[in-house]
Amino acid sequence: MISFPNCKINLGLNIIGKRADGYHDLETVFYPLQLTDALEIIRADATDLSPQSTPVFSTSGLPIPGDQNNNLCIKAYQLLKKDFPALAPIKIHLHKAIPMGAGLGGGSADASFTLQLLNKKFNLNLSEKKQIEYAAELGSDCPFFVINQPSIAKGRGEILSPLTLNLSAYNFVLVHPGIHISTKWAFEQIKPFRQNPPIQEIIETPIQNWKSTLFNDFEAPIAAAFPEINTIKNKLYETGAVYASMSGSGSTVFGIYQKDITHNMHLHFNHRVDQINGHSIA
């Protein structure tokens, strides 16, 4: 069984305060886009699993750093295995196209799609609510990819309220400068404060207003450490973007364009560029 975990961008991101549990309260809009990885899950022989019930895991595409046993796809399987001991052994193959440490939520998407694939493949009959609960155990962004529609996110990112946001009249240009940003490091650069008005109010105003009203709190400190962020953002505006911002904790910068002016955007940058239609994902 194969699925295609998609990325997200953040439209605005306010870090409101630090919590007693060490996490931060935030407010943002998650918006899904069709830049995808590819995820395949098949049954495996019992002999393929380690005593710790670790699936056989292989990858292609972009290299994934670190210990494979810590990959969120494996953790998703092990999380379900605790509650469903009879869950069959599996092999997972992940083709990675969404860059990592880029503010696009690719790892979170892979984890959530693993939960959803396992639910479908083995008829676990998990409700959406239960899948969200499992996803929240894997990471703050993971519940969003169960809903996978434009949403206001609060709390640490797991409190989601779907909203009507139609950006189908626009294309998105994503520029990844090849910089890996540690989320932990990014949060260490932030001094939380409460933004007024709330992002939900700003997002309901015309997109032409967002340049002066809709901000990502991570952008200024990260751009100070990596000036390429501002260079890319300025180039996006110079080439006609209606709105441009860094996504999440970086380092991807996106521009939103009228559909008739994004051709040959790759000619303007020395970095990876992806052009994506603005239709929401059904």
| Active-site residue flag, 83 | no
Closest CA to 73 of 27, 122, 35, 108: 108
Residues 184, 69 share a domain: no
Does residue 18 sit in the same domain as residue 151? yes
Tell me, yes or no, if the pTM score tops 0.95. no
> What total number of domains does the chain contain?
2
In a domain, 282, yes or no: no
Instruction: Summarize pLDDT for 136-193 with one digit per residue, the tens.
Output: 999 999 999 999 999 999 988 889 999 999 898 899 999 999 888 888 888 888 877 7
The SS3 assignment for 199 reads: helix
pLDDT of residue 281: 45
For residue 112, what is the domain's CATH number?
3.30.230.10
Same domain, 10 and 106: yes
Q: Active-site residue among 8, 81, 96, 233?
A: 8
233 is annotated as an active-site residue:
no
Domain check: are 30 and 149 in the same one? yes
Cα–Cα distances (Å) from 205 to 201, 202, 209, 211, in that order, read: 7, 5, 7, 11
What percentage of the chain exceeds 70 in pLDDT? 90
Residues 19 and 125 in one domain: yes
According to DSSP, the residues that pair with 90 across neighbouring strands are: 43
In a domain, 79, yes or no: yes
Is there a contact between 173 and 241 (Cβ–Cβ < 8 Å)?
yes
What local confidence, expressed as pLDDT, does residue 52 receive?
54
One-letter identity of residue 164? T
Answer for the pair 81, 143: CB distance below 8 angstroms, yes or no. Answer: no
Q: Which member of 37, 110, 141, 274 is catalytic?
A: 141
